[in-house]
């Protein structure tokens, strides 16, 4: 079982990830983790914090001579802005943030709530997701992402058919593959910044090379679509998730939504040759992968910290006051797409390891080949 625990506060010494269940013998590319952290910090619309931080991972355990040992992998991303004991207390909670609800749930000061609820915690999940991505890569599975909407500007291009088709996303300031939409998104962010506003949007995460048979149909909590949705919804500011064409499919009759099954070994080598003419289900049927690309989309609300704050109430005096105004982003959808990529990779890696069982990477590779062979396809990596 691949399990992740994170710790740390936004302005504390750093953010820590402890990832247990990583197989022994994985050649870990630390540079790839740092590149993922850098991608999380990028994107048009990010705030001043990203100029302060230069995220790099420190491996504290579970790796020796460049290879995982089978013990929990401990990772740390230090905060350059680590003035936790100096930041002021807060008494005016922000609408849309965890400030007031977290204070009511725990009795903790609002500052303590927001320091942990902050999206800064996602640095740990991106670091861990990069490890999960390397596990998947060893079995020929790639997880990629792109932004498809920011505010009113939406991409008009179709989803690329291969992971290589997503490579250009990192060359866009908003991680959008549609050049015209990318320009419109940047213009919308500029207008929002001038108005003291913030913008949300939608990103897409796709898993290519995922074999059929991961997940479960018999236990609700183990259904893969439920786990993917839960992981994506756990990212701060995410308010909606769909697998495949979930929301659009709600308006269609069944004959126009469901994916017809065909048999073609070349088209579906990791599903026993059983392919689909379309992929409206997003690669998951009945909680189990079907060998088609796993397609997830998540909707991110506008960031709740505004430079022109909304109204709030002082929790001490119960008098109306403006909400807290702190350093923040105008738009973080591009960064959220990288976080989404990380959590989807983590869920898929967990499901793959559940299917293959315990053991080192060499043993798991042999089991993977046997699994593909049982499906009727030819083993490939």
User: Is the model's pLDDT at 49 over the cut of 90?
Assistant: no
Query: Tokens in use for 98?
Result: 């965890």
Q: Which SS3 state, helix, strand or coil, does residue 297 take? A: strand
User: Is the model's pLDDT at 179 over the cut of 90?
Assistant: yes
- Residue 304 CA to residue 323 CA, distance in Å, equals 10
- The average confidence (pLDDT) of the chain is 94
Q: Is 55 domain-assigned?
A: no
User: Is the model's pLDDT at 51 over the cut of 90?
Assistant: no
Q: What is the pLDDT of residue 381?
A: 44
Q: Which of 10-14, 147-151, 265-269 has the highest mean pLDDT?
A: 147-151
Q: pTM for the whole thing?
A: 0.95
Q: Is 38 domain-assigned?
A: no
Q: Is 341 domain-assigned?
A: yes
Whether residue 344 contacts residue 142, with contact meaning beta carbons closer than 8 Å, is answered with no
Q: What is the pLDDT of residue 50?
A: 55
- Average pLDDT of the residues in 243-263: 95
Q: What is the pLDDT of residue 380?
A: 52
- Average pLDDT of the residues in 39-44: 90
Q: Is 306 domain-assigned?
A: yes
User: Is the model's pLDDT at 170 over the cut of 50?
Assistant: yes
State the pLDDT confidence band at 378, using cuts at 50, 70 and 90: low
Q: What is the pLDDT of residue 84?
A: 85
Instruction: Print burial letters for 132-145: b (CB count within 10 Å at least 16), e (below 16).
Output: bbbbbbbbbbbbbb
Percent of the chain scoring above 90 in pLDDT = 86
Query: Tokens in use for 355?
Result: 């299917």
Q: What is the DSSP secondary structure assignment for residue 356, as one 8-state letter?
A: H
- Average pLDDT of the residues in 257-263: 95
- Residue 341 CA to residue 147 CA, distance in Å, equals 11
Q: Which SS3 state, helix, strand or coil, does residue 281 take? A: coil
- Average pLDDT of the residues in 166-193: 96
Helices 122-137, 333-356: axis angle to 10 degrees equals 50
Query: Tokens in use for 311?
Result: 């109204």
**Domain residue limits at 279:** 90-375
CATH of the domain at 316: 3.60.150.10
- Average pLDDT of the residues in 353-364: 95
- Residue 218 CA to residue 222 CA, distance in Å, equals 8
- Residue 287 CA to residue 279 CA, distance in Å, equals 15
Whether residue 292 contacts residue 269, with contact meaning beta carbons closer than 8 Å, is answered with no
Q: Residues near 75 by Cβ (< 8 Å), separated by ≥ 6?
A: 16, 17, 18, 19, 33, 57, 58, 59, 60, 124, 127, 128, 131
Q: Is 229 domain-assigned?
A: yes
Q: How many domains does the chain have?
A: 1
């Amino acid at each position: 079982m691949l399990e992740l625990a994170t710790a740390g506060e936004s302005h504390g010494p750093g953010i820590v990830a402890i990832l247990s269940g990583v197989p022994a013998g994985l050649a870990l590319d630390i540079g790839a983790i740092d590149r993922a952290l850098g991608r999380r910090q990028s994107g048009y619309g990010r705030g001043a914090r990203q100029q302060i931080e230069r995220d790099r991972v420190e491996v504290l355990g579970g790796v020796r001579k460049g290879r995982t040992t089978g013990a929990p992998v401990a990772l740390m991303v230090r905060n350059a802005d680590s003035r936790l004991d100096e930041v002021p207390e807060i008494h005016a909670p922000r609408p849309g943030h965890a400030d007031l609800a977290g204070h009511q749930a725990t009795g903790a000061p609002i500052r303590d709530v927001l320091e942990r609820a902050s999206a800064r915690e996602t640095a740990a999940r991106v670091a861990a997701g990069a490890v999960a991505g390397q596990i998947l890569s060893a079995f020929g599975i790639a997880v990629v992402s792109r932004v498809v909407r920011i505010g009113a500007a939406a991409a008009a291009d179709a989803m690329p058919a291969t992971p290589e088709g997503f490579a250009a996303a990192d060359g866009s300031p908003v991680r959008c593959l549609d050049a015209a939409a990318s320009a419109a998104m940047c213009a919308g962010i500029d207008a929002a910044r001038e108005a003291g506003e913030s913008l949300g949007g939608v990103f897409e995460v796709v898993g290519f090379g995922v074999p059929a048979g991961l997940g479960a149909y018999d236990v609700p909590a183990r259904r893969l679509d439920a786990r993917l949705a839960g992981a994506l919804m756990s990212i701060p500011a995410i308010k909606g998730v769909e697998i495949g064409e979930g929301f659009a499919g709600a308006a269609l009759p069944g004959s126009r939504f469901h994916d017809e099954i065909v048999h073609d070994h070349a088209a579906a080598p990791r599903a026993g040759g059983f392919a689909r003419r379309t992929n409206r289900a997003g690669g998951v049927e009945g909680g189990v992968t079907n060998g088609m690309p796993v397609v997830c989309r998540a909707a991110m609300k506008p960031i709740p910290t505004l430079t022109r704050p909304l109204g709030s109430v002082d929790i001490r005096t119960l008098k109306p006051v403006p909400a807290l105004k702190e350093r923040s982003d105008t738009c973080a959808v591009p960064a959220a797409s990288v976080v989404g990529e990380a959590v989807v990779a983590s869920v898929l890696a967990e499901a793959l390891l559940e299917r293959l069982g315990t053991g080192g990477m060499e043993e798991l590779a042999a089991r993977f080949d046997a699994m593909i062979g049982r499906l009727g396809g030819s083993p490939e990596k």
